Structures are given as C-alpha cells and as structure tokens.
Structure 1
Amino acid sequence: MNKSTCILAAAALLATFAPCSESKPRYHGPYIVNRWYLMQEFSETPHTDCGSVASIQNVEVIPCDSDVCNLKTGTNVTININFTPKADIAKLTAVVHGVVAGVPMPFHFPQVNACQNSNITCPLQSGQGYSYSVKLPVLGSYPKIKVVVKWELKDATGKDVVCVEIPARLV
C-alpha cells in the first residue's frame, strides 16, 4: 500500500469514531475492518532492500516492535517475507548473515533449501505472490551486539531473488 492509500485508510478509520458529544450510538463496523487492515500494514519490520530481483511487499520479524529488532539469544524468531518474483524460479537457497562493522558473518541456519518447510513450494511462477516464513534460531553463543541481519534467497545461478537487511540487536 502506498502512503496516500495509507493516509486515506487512516482518515476512514478516524471518520468512524463518534464525537464525545453525540448521545446516540453510531455504527462502528468500518472501524473494525479498517483497524485490522492498518494493523496488517503497520506490522512491517523496518528493512532495507539490498538488491532483490523480486518485488518485496512486506518483511516481518516476530517478535519485533521497534526500529531495531531485539533478538533474544537462546530463542527462535520468525521471519516472514512476502514477495513476487519477476521470473520463474526452479529452486531457492536461503543464506543468512549477521553484518557487524561491515563484515558479514554467517548465521547458523539449518534450513538452506528455501522451498521446504517455509510456506512456499518450488518452482515459483513469475508474477505470483509468495509468503516465505521460517524460524531463525538465535543461538545462546552469539555475542550480545548490534547487528544487521542480511537475509538472501538465491536462485540456482546465485542471483538474489530476495535480499533484505534488518537492523537488530542481540540481547
């Protein structure tokens, strides 16, 4: 959703509130629909596209409720990426790095085949939307530092179909 659509949705949400001085009840049905719609839109995690060939619709890290995601060591976080490839893709490989002081260091991620146990099945079709969803183990052995999580989904030729960078802090 672009910013003008978002503003219109917010205006529609505000229009459903009854003024405090009104004595009779007012219908609030659209409020529920608009509120749900806006919550879906604003659940996006701040990220930077680092060279995706696909169109990225949404990136979400769960749990993450700030501009810098606090990733608790010894737990798992869920990564959701909604994207639309611009070409047919036979296979995808997940590559995850923690970038510290500009140096990429591999994150332990056992699920390298991005087409298994990720809510998507290969081959992927050009122009069709997909919702990639996996759990990332945040190992207890990781140092408690600020890091940029670089998440790549590469095609068979090594090209970044998806590449996003997510600011995070290991806590």
Structure 2
Amino acid sequence: MIRTIAIFALFIAYVQAKNTSFTNCGQEGTILWVNVVPCNSDPCTFKPDEIVNINGQLISDVAISSPILRTQVKDSDDSWVDYPNVDTDACKYTDCPIEANVATSFALSLKTFAWPPPMLTQIRFQVYNSDGSNELICGATTIKIKHD
C-alpha cells in the first residue's frame, strides 16, 4: 500500500507536490499525511485515463504481518464499490510487516477510468489485518471526476 501509493504523492514533472486533505476513518491506526499527483486543487480533480500517484505515511497501533488493502470509491448511488486493478496485497505498496507504532511510508499508482460519471465523490483506502476480519487503518478523501 505504501510502495505504490504514489496516488495519496509522487508528482510527475511539471506538477508540484501538495499534501491532500483527508479523513482518518480507522480505529487502530492513523494516516499522517498523503500526497496525490496530479492534484492542483482541493478536492483533487481527475480525468479518465490519468495515472494518479499517491504516497504518504501511516502509523498502525498493532503489528500487521500480511496487511490486506481495500480501495473503494462511492458511485452515483452513494454506495461504496471496489476500485478495479488495485491489488489487495498491501505489501506491494509498503514495507511488510507493518510494525506497531512506527511511521511507515506507502506509495501506489492508479489509473483513472471513464466511470464514474462526472461528479464529486469519495475514495477510501482501508487496511485490514492478515485475515481481513478487522479494519485497522482507513483514509478517505473527496475527489472530483471531470470529463472533458
């Protein structure tokens, strides 16, 4: 979740890094900061077929040997749906195991799709324990989907 979450801070040439506003929604951990590239406004505005890089830092209250990542976006019916093509193996985006009470970096890249339709919506990233039974870390942010 950290090595490739360059969607919540790697910026492409010509784009300046900017901390993105977000909400911590987990019970046993905290996301310290998130950068999103490209993002020149708050909320970030994305167009179809863009590569979005996210990076940041988190702290888990508990150790997690094989964390599971769930990435979701709200659709036009206000329901959370899984975002496609993001691996659930959080170790692909961060160093594992995640140690308790240690700041851990993450980075990931996502490709935007033509769905959802143009709208203001939310995206969230949830990290679960190794068996997926307990959400440990969660971060959500508002995004704007724009079609030219």
How does the TM-score come out when normalised to structure 2? Answer: 0.77
Deviation at 1:52, TM superposition (A): 4.3
Structure 2 counterpart of 1:140: 114
Structure with more relative contact order (C-alpha pairs < 8 Å, separation 6 or more): 2
Deviation at 1:141, TM superposition (A): 4.3
Pairwise mapping of residues 11-160 of structure 1 onto structure 2 (< 5 A)? 43-100=18-75, 101-116=77-92, 118=93, 120-158=94-132, 159-160=134-135
1:12-69: CA deviations, max 9, x gaps? xxxxxxxxxxxxxxxxxxxxxxxxxxx98xx320111112421221022111122211
Q: Take 1:114 and 1:145, find their aligned partners in 2: how far apart are those partners? A: 28
- What one-letter code is carried by the residue in structure 2 that aligns with 1:156? S
- What one-letter code is carried by the residue in structure 1 that aligns with 2:42? D
Q: Which structure has more helix as a fraction of its residues?
A: 1
Size of the aligned set, in residue pairs, is 129
Q: Take 2:90 and 2:81, find their aligned partners in 1: how far apart are those partners? A: 20
Give the gaps of 5 or more residues in structure 2.
1-15
RMSD: 2.0
Query: Is the alpha carbon distance of 1:161 and 1:150 closer, same or farther for their aligned partners in structure 2, counting shifts above 3 Å?
Result: same
> Runs of at least 4 residues of structure 1 off by over 4 A?
none
Contact 1:73–1:142, Cα closer than 8 Å, also in 2: no
1:76-107: CA deviations, max 9, x gaps? 10111311111111111111111145311221
Q: Take 2:27 and 2:144, find their aligned partners in 1: how far apart are those partners? A: 24
Query: Is the alpha carbon distance of 1:81 and 1:109 closer, same or farther for their aligned partners in structure 2, counting shifts above 3 Å?
Result: farther
Deviation at 1:161, TM superposition (A): 2.4
Deviation at 1:157, TM superposition (A): 3.9
Deviation at 1:129, TM superposition (A): 1.2
SS of the aligned residue for 1:115 comes to: helix
1:120-151: CA deviations, max 9, x gaps? 22111112111110001111344222210011
Contact 1:108–1:137, Cα closer than 8 Å, also in 2: no
How does the TM-score come out when normalised to structure 1? Answer: 0.68
